[in-house]
Amino acid sequence: MKNQQFAVIGLGQFGEAIARSLSQKGAQVMAIDAKHDRVDYISSEVTYAVALDATDKKALASQNIQDFDAVVISIGENFENLLLCAVNLIELGVSRIIARAKGNANKLILQRLGIKEIFQPEFEVGAVVAERLLNPSLLSFMKMPDGYAIAEITPPIKIIGKNLNEISMIKNYNINLITIKRISPSTKEGEPGTMHITGVPQADTIIIDHDQLVVFGREKDLKKFIEVNS
């Protein structure tokens, strides 16, 4: 990711979080907002931070915005400004645009503009919170098209101590185990252990307490797996 360049326009709560996360993962990030205080706040954590009006096509062009791998529009306060920004990016030839939408009406308008990647943080966060309330075993949850989901779960009690061949996730539950996050013991007393990815799980891998399982499948199958084994 270190050679990839991203621009994030709109540095509210979500835009700031996206810019910071991309930067922490090694990407080159330009953070853009019309408000100087927001730009100043994040300037030390990204590659570039620029105060400009994203509804001004010339201002965007001056930053060579069309050369970035992707541009995220996270303007949440004014949908008209978001639309103007999106039109500018399209006209400047930005290859990949990811835009924030508040509500389905905004999403439909963005889709009509030709923007294919749209995120709705309020809806997505609400869905995750609801799923975690209903299923305490869920640590994280991402909905996918056609009723599928990727979830990170604590192992249900009945599978702890069993190997993957015994559990037979695909055969018995029609879900795939992508990987396992496992905590290794700390070398220093009183300090927490370190989380590691085990890689591609093998048939003889034994599930232990405190593992975190990253799984993929239909939502109904994931819920069945948790319920049957809890």
Sheet holding 117-119, edge to edge: 48-51, 28-33, 5-9, 70-73, 97-100, 117-119
pLDDT tens-digit series, residues 168-224: 999 999 999 999 998 876 656 655 667 788 888 999 999 998 899 999 999 999 989
| Domain extents in the chain | 5-119, 124-229
Q: Is the pLDDT confidence value at 114 over 60?
A: yes
The CA dihedral of 125, 130, 132, 138, to the nearest 10 degrees, is: -80
114-118, 127-131, 160-164, 208-212: segment of lowest average pLDDT: 127-131
pTM beyond 0.75: no
Which CATH superfamily includes the segment(s) 124-229?
Answer: Regulator of K+ conductance, C-terminal domain (3.30.70.1450)
Do the domains 124-229 and 5-119 match in fold?
no
CATH topology classification for 5-119: Rossmann fold (3.40.50)
- C-alpha distances (whole Å) from 12 to each of 80, 121, 223 are 16, 12, 34
Query: Measured in whole angstroms, how far is the alpha carbon of residue 66 from the centre of its chain?
Result: 23
Q: pLDDT band at residue 62, thresholds of 50, 70 and 90?
A: very high
- Check residue 115 and give its pLDDT: 93
Q: Is 202 exposed, middle or buried (0-12, 13-18, 19+ CB in 10 A)?
A: exposed
36 or 142, greater pLDDT: 36
List the strands of the sheet with 194-197, edge to edge. Answer: 138-143, 148-153, 212-218, 176-184, 194-197
Report, as an integer, the average pLDDT of 14-42. Answer: 92
DSSP letter, residue 186: P
Find the mean pLDDT for residues 101-123. Answer: 88
> How does the average pLDDT of the chain come out, rounded?
89
Q: Which residues contact 31 (CB under 8 A, 6 or more apart)?
A: 7, 8, 11, 15, 16, 19, 39, 42, 43, 46, 48, 49, 50
